[in-house]
Amino acid sequence: MKQFTSVLDVPDVQALIREALALKANPFAHQHLGKNRTLGLVFLNPSLRTRMSTQIAAQQLGMNVITLNADKDGWALEFQDGAVMNGNTVEHIRDAAPVLGSYCDIIGVRCFPGLQSREMDDSEHIMRAFIRHTGKPYVSLESATLHPLQSLADAITLTETRPKHRPKVVLTWAPHIKPIPHAVANSFAEWVNRLDVELVVTHPEGYALNPKFTGTARVEHNQQKALEGADFVYVKNWSSYSEYGKILNQDSTWMLTQRHLLETNQARVMHCLPVRRNVELSDEILNSPASLVQEQARNRVYAAQAVLKQLLENN
């Protein structure tokens, strides 16, 4: 593995999950691997979990870590080829990225979508520019369309808590006050489709995700019907994909509450965090044993560690 941008980069998903669980049991077993190697983390957007868990993961492998908050501390970057840079951008990615590549052995970048142009966001032009011009192994810290480290942590959490039968997993849209990227939902669907589970996606009309990522998942517009018999409910907001980046619906009946769980199979509830309490998900669920959100966040460390370990071993 030379890059980790999507489940498609992973040769064996089950082996990666097993690797993460082994690291969770013994996090300091490979401290020699990262000796004298540097991980550079570049954040074009905010982060709590991705920033800290990836740093801890790298340190547990013996790596050095440097973080650049490129949205605040770095020069404003230009990504357009041939741009006449007489505006607000100060440095071109063609100049900045090779510098990062010369300082670091592995590069991680967080680059949210602009949610203005679907074509631009779908092209992943920012991520692709970093990969191309740093020339180093790359780990996505959430790109315009996918958040694979989150999904790997979610797959680890599902594996740890999975019942004996083939579980039903429901990805449900929830309300939000801001236009939110599709990356977490796309990525969750893409990864869960690789596990031996039944995946159902539920959302109001107008919120269909890109089928490139949801694949064979069944779509059910009636949320209550979708939730029947669910073993896991993954709650997430996303903006419209067809009316790109727009908020079409803020119907608060879609907020997940205890009432929504009545017909489930005592479902465990998941969310990637940060969560808007009492907008996306009710306090009563988040404060109850049904919630898996802290387990998911903890597994971010071992997801990142398994990925970094493979990148160190193979490059």
Among 181, 270, 286, 312, binds ligand AN0 (CB under 6 A): 181
Q: Cβ closer to ligand AN0: 42 or 104?
A: 42
Q: Cβ closer to ligand AN0: 49 or 133?
A: 49
SS3 89: coil
Among 126, 184, 192, 267, binds ligand AN0 (CB under 6 A): 184
The answer to whether 135 contacts ligand AN0 (rule: CB under 6 A) is no
Q: Cβ closer to ligand AN0: 1 or 279?
A: 279
| Residues 107-122: b if buried by 16+ CB within 10 A, e if exposed | bbbbbbbebeebeebb
Question: What is the rounded distance in angstroms from the CA atom of residue 109 to the CA atom of residue 143?
Answer: 8
Residue 183 binds: one of ligand AN0, ligand CP, none (C-beta under 5 to 8 A by kind): ligand AN0
Question: What is the rounded distance in angstroms from the CA atom of residue 308 to the CA atom of residue 148?
Answer: 13
Structure-token pair, residue 304: 């990142």
Residue 48 binds: one of ligand CP, ligand AN0, none (C-beta under 5 to 8 A by kind): ligand CP
- Minimum CB separation from ligand AN0 for residue 273, in Å? 7
The answer to whether 206 contacts ligand AN0 (rule: CB under 6 A) is no
- Minimum CB separation from ligand CP for residue 244, in Å? 22
258 CB burial (10 A radius; 0-12, 13-18, 19+)? exposed
Question: What is the rounded distance in angstroms from the CA atom of residue 12 to the CA atom of residue 44?
Answer: 30
The answer to whether 108 contacts ligand AN0 (rule: CB under 6 A) is no
Footprint of ligand CP on this chain (CB under 6 A)? 47-50, 150, 272-274
- Minimum CB separation from ligand AN0 for residue 149, in Å? 10
How many CA atoms lie within 13 Å of 209's alpha carbon, on the beta-carbon side? 33
- Minimum CB separation from ligand AN0 for residue 188, in Å? 11
Among 256, 270, 272, 312, binds ligand AN0 (CB under 6 A): 272
Q: Cβ closer to ligand CP: 48 or 177?
A: 48
212 CB burial (10 A radius; 0-12, 13-18, 19+)? exposed
Choices 94-102, 175-183, 219-227, 256-264; region in contact with ligand AN0 by CB under 6 A: 175-183
Residue 180 binds: one of ligand CP, ligand AN0, none (C-beta under 5 to 8 A by kind): ligand AN0
How many CA atoms lie within 13 Å of 174's alpha carbon, on the beta-carbon side? 25
CB contact at 8 A, 111 and 143:
yes
Q: Cβ closer to ligand AN0: 225 or 277?
A: 277
Number of helices (H) and strands (E), helices first, in the chain? 11, 12
CB atoms within 10 A of CB 175: 18
Q: Cβ closer to ligand CP: 50 or 143?
A: 50
Structure-token pair, residue 36: 């004298």
Q: Which residue is nearest to ligand CP (CB)?
A: 50
Q: Cβ closer to ligand AN0: 104 or 184?
A: 184
Structure-token pair, residue 54: 């990836």
Q: Which residue is nearest to ligand AN0 (CB)?
A: 181
Phi and psi for 91 in degrees, rounded to 5? -140, 140
The answer to whether 274 contacts ligand AN0 (rule: CB under 6 A) is yes
Name the site residues for ligand AN0 (rule: CB under 6 A): 180-181, 183-184, 272, 274
